[in-house]
Protein backbone atom coordinates (compact mmCIF):
# COMPACT_ATOMS: atom_id res chain seq x y z
CA UNK A 1 0.00 0.00 0.00
CA UNK A 2 2.78 2.33 0.86
CA UNK A 3 4.44 1.78 -2.50
CA UNK A 4 1.29 2.68 -4.35
CA UNK A 5 0.95 5.97 -2.46
CA UNK A 6 4.56 7.09 -3.07
CA UNK A 7 5.40 9.79 -5.65
CA UNK A 8 8.21 7.86 -7.28
CA UNK A 9 8.08 7.77 -11.09
CA UNK A 10 6.02 9.79 -13.58
CA UNK A 11 2.30 10.23 -13.77
CA UNK A 12 0.64 9.79 -17.15
CA UNK A 13 0.05 13.56 -17.49
CA UNK A 14 3.70 14.33 -16.80
CA UNK A 15 4.76 11.79 -19.39
CA UNK A 16 2.45 13.28 -22.04
CA UNK A 17 3.76 16.80 -21.33
CA UNK A 18 7.36 15.60 -21.67
CA UNK A 19 6.60 13.86 -24.99
CA UNK A 20 4.83 16.99 -26.31
CA UNK A 21 7.78 19.24 -25.41
CA UNK A 22 10.21 16.80 -27.05
CA UNK A 23 8.04 16.63 -30.20
CA UNK A 24 7.89 20.43 -30.50
CA UNK A 25 11.66 20.60 -30.14
CA UNK A 26 12.19 17.94 -32.81
CA UNK A 27 9.83 19.70 -35.25
CA UNK A 28 11.70 22.99 -34.73
CA UNK A 29 15.02 21.23 -35.24
CA UNK A 30 13.77 19.59 -38.45
CA UNK A 31 12.62 23.01 -39.73
CA UNK A 32 16.07 24.44 -39.03
CA UNK A 33 17.72 21.61 -40.97
CA UNK A 34 15.37 22.18 -43.92
CA UNK A 35 16.11 25.92 -43.98
CA UNK A 36 19.82 25.22 -43.72
CA UNK A 37 19.67 22.71 -46.59
CA UNK A 38 17.78 25.22 -48.73
CA UNK A 39 20.35 27.95 -47.99
CA UNK A 40 23.24 25.65 -48.87
CA UNK A 41 21.53 24.65 -52.12
CA UNK A 42 20.94 28.30 -53.03
CA UNK A 43 24.57 29.15 -52.27
CA UNK A 44 25.77 26.32 -54.51
CA UNK A 45 23.50 27.54 -57.30
CA UNK A 46 24.82 31.10 -56.96
CA UNK A 47 28.39 29.80 -56.97
CA UNK A 48 27.75 27.78 -60.14
CA UNK A 49 26.22 30.88 -61.79
CA UNK A 50 29.22 32.98 -60.71
CA UNK A 51 31.62 30.49 -62.28
CA UNK A 52 29.60 30.45 -65.50
CA UNK A 53 29.59 34.27 -65.62
CA UNK A 54 33.31 34.57 -64.94
CA UNK A 55 34.07 31.95 -67.62
CA UNK A 56 31.91 33.80 -70.15
CA UNK A 57 33.61 37.11 -69.31
CA UNK A 58 37.08 35.56 -69.68
CA UNK A 59 36.11 34.07 -73.05
CA UNK A 60 35.10 37.49 -74.37
CA UNK A 61 38.15 39.20 -72.88
CA UNK A 62 40.44 36.66 -74.58
CA UNK A 63 39.30 37.86 -78.02
CA UNK A 64 41.26 40.52 -79.87
CA UNK A 65 40.17 44.11 -79.23
CA UNK A 66 38.58 44.52 -82.66
CA UNK A 67 36.58 41.29 -82.20
CA UNK A 68 35.01 42.41 -78.93
CA UNK A 69 31.70 43.58 -80.33
CA UNK A 70 28.15 42.35 -80.83
CA UNK A 71 27.03 41.22 -84.28
CA UNK A 72 23.60 42.84 -83.79
CA UNK A 73 21.72 44.84 -81.20
CA UNK A 74 19.70 42.64 -78.83
CA UNK A 75 15.96 43.22 -78.69
CA UNK A 76 14.72 45.11 -75.65
CA UNK A 77 12.50 43.26 -73.17
CA UNK A 78 9.71 44.39 -70.86
CA UNK A 79 10.45 41.57 -68.37
CA UNK A 80 12.45 43.00 -65.45
CA UNK A 81 14.10 39.59 -64.87
CA UNK A 82 15.45 39.50 -68.45
CA UNK A 83 18.88 41.15 -68.92
CA UNK A 84 17.58 42.63 -72.19
CA UNK A 85 15.28 44.76 -70.02
CA UNK A 86 18.24 47.15 -69.81
CA UNK A 87 18.58 47.50 -73.60
CA UNK A 88 17.48 50.82 -75.10
CA UNK A 89 16.54 50.58 -78.78
CA UNK A 90 18.30 53.76 -79.88
CA UNK A 91 19.49 55.06 -82.25
CA UNK A 92 22.13 54.26 -81.38
CA UNK A 93 21.17 51.12 -79.49
CA UNK A 94 22.41 51.34 -75.90
CA UNK A 95 22.65 49.33 -72.70
CA UNK A 96 22.18 50.39 -69.09
CA UNK A 97 25.42 48.77 -67.92
CA UNK A 98 24.76 49.05 -64.18
CA UNK A 99 21.47 47.19 -64.33
CA UNK A 100 18.65 47.77 -61.87
CA UNK A 101 20.49 50.47 -59.92
CA UNK A 102 21.58 52.42 -62.98
CA UNK A 103 18.75 54.86 -63.45
CA UNK A 104 18.99 56.18 -67.00
CA UNK A 105 22.78 55.81 -67.38
CA UNK A 106 23.27 54.08 -70.72
CA UNK A 107 26.22 53.55 -73.04
CA UNK A 108 26.06 52.88 -76.79
CA UNK A 109 26.45 49.25 -77.81
CA UNK A 110 29.52 48.27 -79.83
CA UNK A 111 28.19 46.55 -82.96
CA UNK A 112 30.26 45.02 -85.76
CA UNK A 113 28.26 42.75 -88.06
CA UNK A 114 31.38 41.14 -89.56
CA UNK A 115 33.41 40.05 -86.50
CA UNK A 116 31.00 40.50 -83.58
CA UNK A 117 29.36 37.76 -81.52
CA UNK A 118 25.80 37.15 -80.44
CA UNK A 119 24.63 38.68 -77.19
CA UNK A 120 22.76 35.50 -76.34
CA UNK A 121 21.06 33.91 -74.61
CA UNK A 122 23.54 31.06 -74.30
CA UNK A 123 22.63 28.09 -72.11
CA UNK A 124 24.81 27.14 -69.15
CA UNK A 125 24.46 24.48 -66.50
CA UNK A 126 24.34 20.84 -65.59
CA UNK A 127 21.70 18.46 -64.27
CA UNK A 128 21.20 20.48 -61.06
CA UNK A 129 21.74 24.14 -61.95
CA UNK A 130 21.41 26.17 -65.09
CA UNK A 131 20.20 29.27 -66.80
CA UNK A 132 21.23 31.64 -69.55
CA UNK A 133 24.20 33.90 -70.28
CA UNK A 134 23.84 37.26 -72.02
CA UNK A 135 26.80 39.34 -73.23
CA UNK A 136 26.94 43.06 -73.97
CA UNK A 137 29.71 45.35 -75.18
CA UNK A 138 29.37 49.12 -74.78
CA UNK A 139 31.53 52.17 -75.36
CA UNK A 140 32.63 53.49 -71.99
CA UNK A 141 33.63 57.10 -72.45
CA UNK A 142 36.63 58.48 -70.65
CA UNK A 143 35.53 62.09 -70.42
CA UNK A 144 39.04 63.15 -69.42
CA UNK A 145 40.20 61.97 -72.86
CA UNK A 146 37.22 62.38 -75.19
CA UNK A 147 35.71 65.43 -73.49
CA UNK A 148 32.45 66.49 -75.05
CA UNK A 149 33.14 64.73 -78.35
CA UNK A 150 31.30 61.62 -77.21
CA UNK A 151 31.93 57.97 -77.94
CA UNK A 152 33.65 56.24 -79.52
CA UNK A 153 36.89 58.17 -79.34
CA UNK A 154 40.24 56.53 -80.04
CA UNK A 155 41.23 56.38 -76.36
CA UNK A 156 37.90 55.24 -74.98
CA UNK A 157 37.25 51.79 -73.53
CA UNK A 158 34.95 48.92 -74.28
CA UNK A 159 32.94 47.74 -71.29
CA UNK A 160 32.11 44.03 -71.40
CA UNK A 161 29.06 43.09 -69.34
CA UNK A 162 27.96 39.50 -68.80
CA UNK A 163 24.58 38.78 -67.21
CA UNK A 164 23.75 35.32 -65.86
CA UNK A 165 20.23 34.18 -65.14
CA UNK A 166 19.21 31.21 -62.99
CA UNK A 167 16.42 28.77 -63.73
CA UNK A 168 15.08 27.88 -60.32
CA UNK A 169 11.89 26.02 -59.64
CA UNK A 170 10.72 28.21 -56.77
CA UNK A 171 11.42 31.89 -57.48
CA UNK A 172 12.64 34.15 -60.24
CA UNK A 173 15.73 36.20 -59.53
CA UNK A 174 17.36 39.17 -61.14
CA UNK A 175 20.45 38.42 -63.24
CA UNK A 176 23.95 38.36 -61.78
CA UNK A 177 26.24 40.87 -63.55
CA UNK A 178 29.98 40.69 -64.28
CA UNK A 179 31.97 43.48 -65.96
CA UNK A 180 35.41 44.36 -67.18
CA UNK A 181 37.01 47.02 -69.36
CA UNK A 182 39.27 46.51 -72.34
CA UNK A 183 41.30 49.23 -74.03
CA UNK A 184 42.66 49.39 -77.56
CA UNK A 185 46.30 48.21 -77.38
CA UNK A 186 47.09 50.36 -80.44
CA UNK A 187 45.61 53.59 -79.02
CA UNK A 188 48.76 54.72 -77.23
CA UNK A 189 49.13 55.92 -73.67
CA UNK A 190 46.43 57.75 -71.81
CA UNK A 191 47.20 61.34 -70.81
Does the residue 112 lie in any domain? yes
Q: Are the C-beta atoms of 175 and 83 separated by less than 8 Å?
A: yes
Does the residue 4 lie in any domain? no
* Res 74: pLDDT: 92
Which of helix, strand or coil describes residue 166? strand
Tens of pLDDT along 138-175? 988 766 655 555 555 555 789 999 999 888 756 677 88
Does the residue 142 lie in any domain? yes
Does the residue 24 lie in any domain? yes
Q: Are the C-beta atoms of 136 and 163 separated by less than 8 Å?
A: yes
* Res 46: pLDDT: 85
> Closest Cα partner for 65 from 116, 108, 109, 133?
116
* Res 12: pLDDT: 78
Helix%, strand%, coil% for the chain, nearest 5: 35, 25, 40
Does the residue 108 lie in any domain? yes
* Res 122: pLDDT: 93
Number of domains the chain is built from: 1
Enumerate the β-bridge partners of residue 133: 122, 164
pLDDT of 97 > 80? The answer is: no
Does the residue 1 lie in any domain? no
Does the residue 191 lie in any domain? no
- Reading phi first (left if > 0) and then psi (alpha if -120 to 50, else beta), residue 131 is in left
| Single pTM value for the model | 0.74
Does the residue 55 lie in any domain? yes
Tens of pLDDT along 36-95? 777 777 788 888 889 999 999 999 999 988 899 999 999 999 888 889 998 987 788 888
Tens of pLDDT along 9-38? 667 787 788 889 988 888 888 777 777 777
pLDDT of 102 > 70? The answer is: no
DSSP state of 103: T
* Res 144: pLDDT: 63
Per-residue confidence at 99, pLDDT binned at 50, 70, 90? low
Residue ranges of alpha helices (H) inside the chain are 2-5, 12-61, 143-146
Read off φ and ψ for residue 64, nearest 5 degrees.
-65, 155
Write out the residue range of the structural domain in which residue 113 sits. Answer: 12-183
DSSP state of 99: G
Amino acid sequence: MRRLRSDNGFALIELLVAITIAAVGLVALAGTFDTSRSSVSESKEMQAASHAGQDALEQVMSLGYSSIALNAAPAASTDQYDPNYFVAGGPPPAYRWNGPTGGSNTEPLVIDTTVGFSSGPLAWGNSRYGGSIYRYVTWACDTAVSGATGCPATNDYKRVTVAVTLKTQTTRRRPIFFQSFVSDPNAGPKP
